[in-house]
Amino acid sequence: MTSSYHETLENLRGVMRAIRSDTVAVAFPRDRAASSDIRIGYLDGRPVKRLVITLRGPGCGWVLRGGGCTMCGHYAGTTHGQPASVADTIMQFTDELNRYRVDDIEVLSIYNSGSMFNPDEIPFEALMGICRHIRHIPAIRKIVFETRAEYINPDTMNVLADELGPG
């Protein structure tokens, strides 16, 4: 890549930081999820209960690389570039999960205002721990992790599938 590319990218980062500096930064605890709620999802063509948990992470990879998107409101709910530890990330998940009766939730969606499989946002060890918890919830039949395609890797998927267990 040329030096003009790097200069342009650095200029873009500066503009994005300036735009973001107008937003009040709230210091959220790294062991508390951003949100969770029950929604209607669809499984095999029928409506089911869907639990959506949004974990708090440092923000998407684009924030770190290019300064983020000016229209994105998700960054305001992140830890503003400060990653959560494995223990804090798992605690975010389990604390939110424990707020609900899960014996009739068939779809579980887990988000982080970024990409769940980007190791710079969510530690892989935390994903494994989350999958170990999910393994013990027999009603859950479908799990949705939000991620960009470039972070998906067959080896990672196999490890997580092993943590989830058979079925």
Domain spans of the chain, in order of start: 3-164
| Encoded amino acid at 102, one letter | V
The most confident of the ranges 9-23, 69-83, 90-104 is 90-104
> Around 118, how many Cα atoms within 13 Å sit in the side-chain half-sphere?
22
| 2 pLDDT tier (thresholds 50, 70, 90) | low
pLDDT band at 109 (very low <50, low <70, confident <90, very high): very high
pLDDT of residue 28: 77
How far apart CA 130 and CA 12 sit, in angstroms, is: 36
